[in-house]
Amino acid sequence: MKLPVEPARLRERFPFLTDGDLDAYSEVTRSLLAAPGRRGRRLAEIFAAAQRGREKEAAAAPLEEDERLALAYVRALEKMQGR
């Protein structure tokens, strides 16, 4: 599935993105595009998982895989937004 913005183009625009950032962006974006009817709910789930991940990190607790991916995705978005 074609991404709206290819990782190579993102790397040009945001050279500070890591391979991990781009991998998370690609994986989550593809999952969002694969189910257009669930996109809103899926995005809400991703942000909720990222929030749980942040809270667990702060408590030095292990993250579930979905939390790790969601948190990496949100952090990549934050980098692209200059946060």
What token pair was written down for 59?
């408590």
This prediction has a pTM of 0.91
Question: How far apart are alpha carbons 19 and 83 in whole angstroms?
Answer: 19
Residue 35 lies in a domain: yes
Residue 1 lies in a domain: no
What token pair was written down for 72?
């990496």
Containing domain of residue 25, as a range?
A: 7-80
Q: What 8-state DSSP symbol labels residue 72?
A: H
Residue 2 lies in a domain: no
Give the helix ranges, DSSP H, for the chain: 7-13, 19-34, 39-58, 65-80
Question: How far apart are alpha carbons 50 and 70 in whole angstroms?
Answer: 5
pLDDT in tens, 36-82: 999 999 999 999 999 999 999 999 999 999 999 999 999 999 999 98
